[in-house]
Structure 1
Amino acid sequence: MSNLFIRGVAALSLALLLPGVAAQAQERTFKLSAGDPIDAPGPQGAKLFAEHLKAGSDGALNVKVFPSAMIGNDVQMLGALPAVTVEFALVGAPTLVGLVKDFGVLDLPYQFNSTAEVDAMLDGPMGQQLLAKLEEKGLVGLGFWEIGFRNLTNSKRPIEKWEDLKGLKIRTVQSPIFRTFFDHLGANAQPMPINEVFGALEMHAIDGQENPVSLIATQRYNEVQDYLTVSEHIYTAYVLLMSKKTWDSLDDTQRAQVRKAAEQARSEQRQLARQANSEKLAELKASGMQVNTLTDEQRQRFVDQAKVVTEQVRGSFDADFVKAWQAELQRVREAN
């Protein structure tokens, strides 16, 4: 019997006697990209996801979070994930419209009346249908997290009626529905990645932008914007994505661990986002921003314009999906 064989048997015996050694050899570390600063609710939720996954896998599955688009913006991540340049990404749902047009249904203005409606829709069967559409694009959708209801800021004037937007250059996310909506209101929509927005505002290349309060604060837009209008015109979600190639490389137990960690972090992240969107408004006021909230009458005038846009763009979605989506939203409203 050769010395090589004896050493091999001894090594195998040691691994069986010390399972921690074998487990350590199977440890994996993944990268998770997020576009927002580390103190924003999205990356904070990503850190919670990493903690839950590490604990749930007994340290075998580890995630390192890269905030502030350090390794790429949302659009770039949609190519990086299938190529496994990065294994996870937290992206804004509007970014996904370029891959799956039906994601645009989430961008319809003034369709949600509350976060309760949002949660029921995104966590329910219609939200899951949207996530399932991503697999053929090399992505696995692990759930919807919260960015929040979006509000307007600008450096020119208070926005009290939709006509006040006429001629303003407003940065929007890279979704055609956003552009259609703001162009319809008379603004000049300027789609661009979020990591370019502060500089564009500072240089007056654009007049304003629209985001939830938490991101207006963490992106420091109050330093380059004078006016904030609480318009809550569109709700936006994050989507936690995973490379399907990486997903397929995991065993069933590991996949269950990933899904459980994502669900745990989702609930916690939403709480963080909603708390931040509430608390940061007072901070923005204290910083000197002039803040106004649309009255019911002013809001209704925006809603009426939104209906026109919805009719214009609904043909870009699968007709059966839109019909099912609207029926489910009606059912959710009646249940609440």
Structure 2
Amino acid sequence: MRNTSFIAAGTVAALSLAVWSGSVVAEDTHTIKFGNVISPDDTQNQGYDLFAEQVTERTDGRIEVQVYPDSQLGGEREMIEATQFGDIEMTAPSVGVLANFDKSLEVFDFPFIFEDAATAYKVLDSELGKEMLAGLADSGLIALGWGENGFRNLAMTDGTVTLPEDMEGIKLRTMQVPMHIAYWESIGAAPTPLSFPEVFTSLQQGVVDGVENPYELLYSARLTEPANYLTETRHIYDPEVILINKDFFEGLSEEDQMIIQEAADAAVDKIRTLKKTVSDEIRAEIEAEGGTVTDLTDEERQAWIDSAIPFYKENADKVDTDKLKAILEAAGNITYLEAIQ
């Protein structure tokens, strides 16, 4: 009887442990490493910090998000690949770099598509924009939403550029994006792809004569120190895409998936709100520190728009032409739509 009692007691204890262990499994804990190349205080990282706070709070700390800004985990391409392979869980690259992984996104690499951010939001938030994000699943990535880098402008080390012909022979740092490179080559520039962490030193040492990025990134990365002649060309609207590893995301409970998606939506809303005023604020700071920022006249801006017409005619059939036409139509961009009909 005594031995039987010990066996029964042991069985109960084992069952209790199994039930307790099961409850731990049901309450899985995770750490999400979220890497990006943007400086810590920039608007994007303010949005990503909100994302981290909301996920941690709503999961009672079961899911912890660690944000790694400022290229701590590598350049954009390296972090996309790391997210694909599950070495990190999340990243938010420029759509230009991401297009190397999903060719349908190359349409956003064409210049002067969007006249303003409101038009870009309308297109990105449409069914067309959602459809384009969904295609990333084939690359092992889930897109949680369209982030925003902003409109790209020129920053030069030696004098102001106002017309396309001023770019003749200029060594311009670009991303490793085929359509970006092709456009600058089409107007006579010498595009020079460099990983973002290399840009500051390359400008200092004269490896390149200029760089193109949104004001905020130019300033926060201190690129406006060696390249302090800026021109507001707004030649490309540069969305970012908030990505998460597909296997990791699909392995979460539906409730946790919903929490992550809603937190990403909140991050996008915050980024867009902050972006409304940040360019003017940063521009004022650049000028206060001795930089020169030049606005284009209507005639000069039209010259830039016209400079891209031959590029569209030559390159439209190198991407998903139907998608490009759909984006242009949704943006109300008749100039380039007529050029490639």
Task: Name the SS of the counterpart of 2:300 in structure 1.
Answer: helix
1:207-251 Cα offsets, whole Å, 9 max, x none, are 100111111110111211130111111110111001111112112
Partner of 1:109: 111
- Which deviations, in whole Å up to 9, do the C-alpha atoms of 1:27-84 show, x marking residues without a partner? 2111001112211222222111111222233322221011111112111122211210
- The aligned amino acid for 1:4 is G
1:175 corresponds to 2:177: yes
Change in CA separation of 1:10 and 1:228 when aligned onto 2, cut-off 3 Å: same
Please tell me whether the aligned partners of residues 32 and 89 of structure 2 are also in contact (alpha carbons under 8 angstroms): yes
Q: CA–CA distance in 1 between the matches of 2:110 and 2:284?
A: 28
Distance 2:233 2:286 in 1: 15
- The structural deviation recorded for 1:274 is 3.1
**In structure 1, C-alpha distance between the alignment counterparts of 2:100 and 2:165, rounded to whole Å:** 30
Worse-superposed segment, 6-15 or 292-301: 6-15
SS at match of 1:234: strand
Q: CA RMSD in A?
A: 1.9
Paired letter, 1:313: N
Shift of 1:6: 2.5
Aligned match of 1:80: 82
> CA separation in 1, counterparts of 2:85 and 2:162?
46
Aligned to 2:332: 330
Counterpart residue number, 1:334: none
- Matched residues in 1 for 2:265 and 2:176: separation? 27
Separation (CA, whole Å) in 2 of partners of 1:213 and 1:322: 27
Matched pairs, number: 327
Q: How does 1:1-336 map to 2 (within 5 A)?
A: 1-11=7-17, 22=24, 26-330=28-332
- Unaligned 5+ segments in structure 1 are 332-336
| Aligned-partner Cα distance in 2 for 1:265–1:305 | 36
TM-score, normalization by structure 2 = 0.91
- TM-score (normalised: structure 1): 0.92
Matched residues in 2 for 1:322 and 1:221: separation? 32
Q: Which moved more, 1:55-64 or 1:99-108?
A: 55-64
Tell me how far 1:11 sits from its aligned partner. Answer: 4.3
Q: Is the 8 A contact 2:123 2:331 kept in 1?
A: yes
- Gapped runs of 5+ residues in structure 2? 1-6, 334-341
Q: Is the 8 A contact 2:120 2:331 kept in 1?
A: no
Query: What SS class does the counterpart of residue 63 from structure 1 fall into?
Result: strand
Note if contact 1:173-1:193 (Cα within 8 Å) is conserved in structure 2: yes
Letter in 1 for 2:327: W
Distance 1:244 1:58, change over 3 A: same
The percentage of counterpart residues that share the same residue type is: 30
Deviations 1:193-215 (A, max 9, x none): 21111111111111100111111
Structure 1 counterpart SS, 2:88: coil
**Is the deviation greater in 267-276 or in 244-253?**
267-276
Q: Deviation per CA, 1:71-121: give whole Å up to 9, x if none.
A: 121111222112100000011110112111221111211110111111011
Q: Is the 8 A contact 2:32 2:90 kept in 1?
A: yes
2:192 match: secondary structure: strand
> Is the partner of 1:71 in helix, strand or coil?
coil
CA distance in 1, matches of 2:322, 2:179: 19
For residue 25 of structure 1, report the CA deviation from its aligned partner: 5.0
Q: Structure 1 residues 102, 226: closer, same or farther in 2, change over 3 A?
A: same
Deviations 1:252-293 (Å, cap 9, x if unpaired)? 111111111110110101222333222000000011111111
The alignment partner of 1:59 has SS state of: coil
Shift in CA distance, 133/15, structure 1 to aligned 2, threshold 3 Å:
closer
